[in-house]
Every structure is written in C-alpha cells, then in structure tokens.
Amino acid sequence: MPLFEAVRMALRTIVTQKLKSFFSLIGVLIGVTFLIAVVSIVQGMNVYMEDQFANQLIGLNTFTLRRAPGINTGNVTDDEWREWMRRPRISYDDADYVAERLKTPATFARFCSDRMTITYGTKQAKDIELMGTEPTYFDIKNIGLASGRIFTPQEVRVGSPVLVIGDLLAEKLFEGLDPLGKQVRIAGLPYRVIGVAAKRGTLFGLSLDKFAVMPFRAPARRYICPMNVLDELQIKTSNSTTMLVAMGETESLMRNKRHLRPGQQNNFDLQSAEGALKGWRSISKVLITALPLLVAISLVVGGIVIMNIMLMAVAERTREIGIRKALGAKRRDILAQFVVESATLATVGAAFGVGTGIGLAFLVRGLTPLPAAVAPWSIAVGVILGMTVGILAGVYPASRASRLDPIVALRAE
Amino acid sequence: MSDLVIQVEDLVREYDMGAEKVLALRGLTLGIRRNEYVAIMGPSGSGKSTFMNLLGCLDTPNGGAYWLNGQEVSRMSDDALARVRNREIGFVFQTFNLLPRATALHNVELPLVYAGVPAGERRRRARQALERVGLGDRMGHRPNELSGGQRQRVAIARALVNSPSLLLADEPTGNLDSTTSEEIMTVFGELHSQGQTIVVVTHEPSIAQYAERVIVLRDGRLDTDTRNTKAAA
C-alpha cells in the first residue's frame, strides 16, 4: 500500500476520533511546546543580550578600566566585596598614564556618574543619571543628537557648566519647549543645555533616555567624581582583536603604574561586553542543557500514551484487521497501517506543539520585556522528534496487530 | 484436471486444545470444477467451518494437500496466502464484515488497495462491481446507512471486484430475512450464470437448494455428495 494512502487513512481515523486523538497526542504536544518556547526565549535573549544589553551598557569593541566589576551577573561574596572596596579608585593620573602609553590605537573616555536631581525653574527631575565624561563618550556609546551640539574638548578642559540631556529628561523638564540654551540647576549649580540626545528606547523595561551628560571637570564633579578620581576609563578600539590586545596592554600598564609584584592580584578590573555576557551565557547553557531532559521526559510520556492508545485501537479494531487480512492485507500492510497511524498522530501533535510553542513565546514577549525569536531549527527538530516518537511507539502495537490470526480476528466482536 | 478450481486430497486439520487434540477434518478428498455452484452443509461440529477456513486460505491443514487454481496452497507462508486470498478468493460473510467507517465504494476498493491497483483504476472497478449488484446509487453510503440486504450486496461487490476464481460465502443469508435472502441468492444465481465459481457454506437446506451440487460433511469426513436436480443452471 502506498504511503500517502496510509497517511490519508490515518488522518481519517484521527478526524473521526477527535477527542481521543487529542488526549493521545497531548504528551507530544507539551514536549514540543516546551522545546519551541524555551529555545525561542533563550534564542531571543541571546540576541538581546548581545545586541542590546552588552553593547548599550558597555559599547561595541569597548572595555572599561574600573576599580571593581560594574555589571555582575554572578554572586559576589562579602569577602570579595570588601576586597573591592579596599582597592584604590581610578585616578586622573591612572587614566592619563594609560591613555598616553597605550600603543594600540584607541579612543578614551574618562567617566563617572551618579544619580542626581536636576531642576528647571520649579520643575524637578529626580533620580537622573548624571554622567561626567568627554566628547568621545558619545561615539563610544553611539549616542546621536536630536538637536544642539555636544561639548568640546576645550569645554572639558576648563570644566564648562554645559549639559547634553536625554530625550525623556528633556520631555520632563521642558514639556515641548526647546531645551537648547535653557538654564537648569544641579545641586544648585547652574548649567546650560547645549544638546538633546536622540531617543534610545528601553532596556529590560527601563528607559535609556533619563540621563544628562556634562564635561567631567564641570562644577558638579564634586558630587559625582570627587577628589580627582573616576569611576572608569572607557577604551574603544577598532575591532574585537585589537580590543583584546589593548586589554592586555592596559593590564600591564596598570600593574606598572601601581607597582604590583608578579603574583600579586590586580587591584583594578577590566571589563568588556564579553565579560558581562559570561553570566548570561552560563544561564542559557543551563537552560539549553536542561531542555533536552524536559523534552525527553514529556516525549517518553507522550510515547507511552500513544502506545497505549494504539494498543487500544488494535484491540478495538481486531475485526477490522481480520477483514483486511481476509481481503489480502499482508503482515507488513497491517504493520505499516498502524505505524503510520501512530506516526501521523504524533506528528499532528508535534505540529500543534509547534503552534502553541510559538504562541507561548510570543505571549512571553508580549507580557514581559523578555524578547523571543523563534529558531527555525527548533521547529524542524520538534516535528522530527514527534514523528520519531510516533513511529517508535507504534511499532509494538502494530506488530501485535500484524501477527493476529485472521480467523480469530474475524470472530472478534 | 485443469478444469478443477479446487482440489483437496486427504485434508487433515487438528486443533490443539491444551490437554486433548480435536480432529476437525479427518482426511477429506474432493474436487470442485470451474463454474460449479456448490453448497457445503453439515451439522455443527461436522468440520464445515474448518473446511471453509482452509478453502479460504485463512488457515493451513496439518496434513494432505490443497490445490487452488493449480497452485499448492497448503504449504504457503502467511504472506503468500494473503496474496492468494487477495487474487483468487472473494469472501462473503454472514455478518457482512464491512468497515463501518468507510463508504460502500471504499469498502469495495479495499481488496484493490492491497493488490496495488492505482487509485483511478480502483475507483472505476469498484463502481463497476457495485453497479453489478445493483447499488450504483448507494456508493457514498456508510454501512450503517444501508439495509442488511444492501450491506450484503456491498460485500458481494467487494468479493467480486478482484475477479476471483472462487466466491466463498459463509452463511450469506444468516442475518437476513427470507425475502432479502431470496434476493441475495438470486444475485448468486446470476453470478453463477455469468460463469462464477461459487461455494456457499450453510446449514439451511432452503439455501442449499439454490446450488447445483450439495456436499454434506459429517465428523470431519465427506458424508454425501449429490447433484441437485431442482437447480436448473
């Protein structure tokens, strides 16, 4: 009997017994749903973490020289924390030393930040990230301007009280008025707005547009980077290879500068997007390793359910098997009929699973800031797995059916 | 010799019922010619069901030989027997044995499916067979939408669709009222007049009357083998 004939026969059986078929394929359905949903979310997170998170927070091909790690995805013990706090901070001297001696071509941005309140007349914007840095910062973080200009190296050198503000802050303080040239105050100190940054959107549901950037030597530095120290020195190179070279150079320069003996630990930290992603990578690895186990369990359960349903079907349709045999069905015709029926059942289940899995992934994307990207390979894997489970689960019942004695089978009720 | 569709020699069939062995057929020898219309009778326990299963190639004998249309089928494998059933034998059962979820047309197509006939050809031949038994207008009906007589006609169409050398009917009127029984036996008579070899297993003398030859079995042996004068072919 040709295969498509058998598949058509199987589909007809499934359609005539909708409810029973649904219950029998629910195990496979759940397994494949899991597979698709988890892979989609992990995949989406990967893209998100790499494109958005790491590059927004740290910058492409950029690393930072800091006192201690800034972005932690792992657990930090108290001892570690205390050791970090004992380290000397990154001074203007440290930054100059590295910037002057680094051989790899790179762009530098001295940087410090804190949360401050900014006022315009009677309006107040609290909890605004105020950053003191250099013009190069806008390039490193890829921040564009919607209007106005960024400050110049001159203004940095003399510490002019000028400010580039984020889109959301502009909206909040000026409510549609042109912010350019307006005077705002930070801790009582007057600043002039010279630029508004282009909108950057959100990250994990948090706005990236609630910020203000000033020259790092500007008057408010006493609040955000007091006593000639910096939070970090940001260093951007042309590509990921030169970045690694520059990181190595920076490490030895800093060890020299701080007179560390061989064997002594670094009392500073170099952080790249790659480093920040390490934590996420380990989480996604756990998810991806645990996934086959979850999927395997539901597929085994699904397979057993299908096997049972098929055994019942063979028992119920003993008479039919007898008739078919009397009319000339060979063993392998009967075997094929039931294996195909079982495989079709499981494949239909897997197909529904793909649907619900994609649905679930999009639901997660809709309801949470987590992204989801459906991986085409996971659909193929899901359907093939379902089909395989169906074939395996069908073999035993089908072989029982094929070995029935036609005389006995014809006498069955 | 070549005219014999069925030739059995010293056929023995023994059933192993645990402790004791039951001899259902104790050496049966007979021949049936092409285009003969034969009724096989006998009281229960006479071995007629066993004989009918052997004739239908649903079972194999413990001893003796059975030639169907010149082929020795008594020593064949299961799959070879399936092939013989498919090509050489058309079954008509007491309980019709139609697939309940399939239409009349699909039921009649079934033997052709296993013969590997392409779909178009299959449909054409199945339609023809249904028209032959007068059910040209009921092809899309399922068995539960048909009367008993119509169901048996579908079964006859299914038995004929492969042009078998033997039409084997087991109590074909056992589940039908007398009027419908007459109708069905008339169909058999027509088929016989068209040249079909027919064997009917029955315990009703009124049904056996339609045949031209009546074979009676008793205790697993041939009891009588008579020509029926009433049935004018």
Q: 3-class DSSP state for residue B37?
A: strand
**pLDDT tens profile A394-411:** 999 999 999 999 999 998
Confidence class of residue B101 from pLDDT cuts 50, 70 and 90? confident
Residue A352 inside a domain? The answer is: yes
Q: What is the pLDDT of residue B105?
A: 95
Contact B91 A327 (CB under 8 A): yes
Does residue B67 have a pLDDT over 60? yes
Residue A57 inside a domain? The answer is: no
Does residue B168 have a pLDDT over 50? yes
Does residue A9 have a pLDDT over 60? yes
> Are residues A220 and A74 both part of a single domain?
yes
B109, B114, B156: best mutation site toward chain A, by most A Cβ within 10 Å? B114
> Are residues A25 and A157 both part of a single domain?
no
State how far residue A350 is from chain B, nearest Cα, in angstroms.
Answer: 26
Q: What is the pLDDT of residue B232?
A: 46
Does residue A285 have a pLDDT over 60? yes
- Residue B42, beta-bridge partner list: none
Confidence class of residue B51 from pLDDT cuts 50, 70 and 90? very high
**pLDDT tens profile A297-351:** 888 988 998 999 899 989 989 999 999 999 999 999 999 989 998 998 899 899 9
> Are residues A386 and A367 both part of a single domain?
yes
Confidence class of residue A355 from pLDDT cuts 50, 70 and 90? very high
Residue B213 inside a domain? The answer is: yes
> Are residues A158 and A127 both part of a single domain?
yes
Number of domains in chain B: 1
> Are residues A141 and A110 both part of a single domain?
yes
> What is the average pLDDT across A88-94?
91
Contact B99 A323 (CB under 8 A): yes
> What is the average pLDDT across B83-104?
93
Instruction: Report chain B's mean pLDDT, rounded to a whole number.
Output: 91
Q: Residue B75 maps to which CATH number?
A: 3.40.50.300
Confidence class of residue B230 from pLDDT cuts 50, 70 and 90? low
Residue from B162, B27, B79, B60 nearest A407 by CA: B60
**Using a CB-CB distance cutoff of 8 angstroms, which residues of chain A are in contact with residue B163?**
none
> What is the average pLDDT across B64-92?
93
Q: Which domain holds residue B222?
A: 4-227
Q: Which residues contact B30 (CB under 8 A, 6 or more apart)?
A: B6, B7, B8, B215, B222, B225
> Are residues A27 and A153 both part of a single domain?
no
CB-nearest partner of A328 from B99, B115, B119: B115
Domain termination residue (choose one: A277, A310, A335): A277
Amino acid at B41: M
Beta strands in A102-151 (DSSP E): 107-120, 123-133, 145-148
- Residue B11, beta-bridge partner list: B28
> Are residues A229 and A326 both part of a single domain?
no
Residue B232 inside a domain? The answer is: no
> Are residues A272 and A287 both part of a single domain?
no
Residue B68 inside a domain? The answer is: yes
Q: Which domain holds residue A288?
A: 3-52+280-411
Q: What is the pLDDT of residue B128?
A: 94
**pLDDT tens profile A202-225:** 776 778 889 999 999 888 888 887
Q: What is the pLDDT of residue B216?
A: 94
State how far residue A403 is from chain B, nearest Cα, in angstroms.
Answer: 10
> What is the average pLDDT across A376-386?
89
Residue from B33, B52, B32, B31 nearest B41 by CA: B52
Residue from A86, A90, A58 nearest A71 by CA: A58
Distance set, CA B87 to CA A322, B165, B171 (Å): 17, 8, 22
Size of interface A-B (CB pairs under 8 A): 61
Does residue A133 have a pLDDT over 80? yes
Chain A contact residues (CB < 8 Å to B): 1, 5, 12-13, 16, 319-320, 322-333, 406-407, 410
> Are residues A106 and A185 both part of a single domain?
yes
Residue B159 inside a domain? The answer is: yes
At residue A105's C-alpha, the angle toward residues A102 and A109, to 5°, is 75
